[in-house]
Structure 1
């Protein structure tokens, strides 16, 4: 269990009007979108793969994962390259990366306990920074076992 006096750094990003965050220790890098190569018979959640300096990385569009409409035509996005706990990498397509914030671990609250809500199972918790509420993602929970098998074959 983490020491309650410890701080955590979170990379904050947005999807539409929703604010999310990922532990900065899970992020390898943040890049501009690249040309995707499609994957035949792949999960609908995986948009395709990119070649990042010789490493093939699957791309998941978080808008699809959270059942949001596609990003408006002409708007740009970013790719968060994250390290999963199973030694694999995954690129997460997000609308925009905003900032890195440092917050005390003790300020992270559990996700709301509600019966309905798309994506609640993917949250580690919520936090407040500068009067804004960020939902902290559990990047490992974004994939189901069959998706993990699929990206294991890719990585």
Structure 2
């Protein structure tokens, strides 16, 4: 599973947060759900919207807009939850990532991906895999395993338990 070469490595699920387009490696995405009722868990970080019941499992839902210091948006018919698997300290954790809307699955060849910028972005660049070029637009490619810290994941897992 640690193999990054192959067919999945150049496919990204693209989604919007505000006016920016982000991409997640398709191999990290389990499924996309329509927005559903999220149960708020007291005393959790603000970016943790709560938990959902996914076929009998408790799955924490994170608001990526809040994590990335963007304004919280009203939930709309396009709001969705991207169910992802993240690897941290050798463990796989299932998380829901709240997005304004899902766009498409995008094929990007290695020559269409630029390194993450060193400055000029509101986001720290350690969890940006690169910038995918799609016509005149950029897609911010996230390394979902690095978006949340070990401490944040531990707090979220204990809150969801």
How far apart are residue 132 of structure 1 and its match? 2.1
Contact 1:15 1:94 in 2 (8 A): yes
- Contact preservation (8 Å) 1:127, 1:134: yes
Q: What residue is the counterpart of 1:124 in the other structure? A: 129
Task: Give me the whole-angstrom Cα distance separating, in 2, the residues matched to 1:41 and 1:5.
Answer: 41
- TM-score normalised by L of structure 1: 0.88
Which consecutive aligned stretches of 4+ in structure 1 deviate over 2 angstroms post-superposition? Answer: 1-7, 72-76, 115-122, 150-155
Residues in 2 aligned to 1:24 and 1:44: alpha-carbon distance in whole angstroms = 27
What's 1:15 paired with?
A: 17
Q: Where do 1:5-154 residues align within 5 Å?
A: 8-72=10-74, 74=76, 76-85=78-87, 86-114=91-119, 117-153=122-158, 154=160
Question: 2: distance between equivalents of 1:133 and 1:40?
Answer: 37
Mean CA deviation greater in 130-139 or 47-56: 130-139
CA shift, 1:117, in A, is 2.4
> How far is the alpha carbon of 1:23 from its aligned partner?
0.4
Using structure 2 for the length normalisation, give the TM-score.
0.85
- The number of residue pairs the alignment matches comes to 155
Q: Quote the offset at 1:96 in angstroms.
A: 0.4
SS in 2 for 1:41: coil
Coordinate RMSD, CA, aligned:
2.4
Kindly indicate whether the alpha-carbon contact (under 8 Å) linking 1:5 and 1:105 is maintained by their aligned counterparts in 2: no
Q: Which stretches in structure 2 are left out of the alignment for 5+ residues?
A: none
Deviation at 1:88, TM superposition (A): 0.7
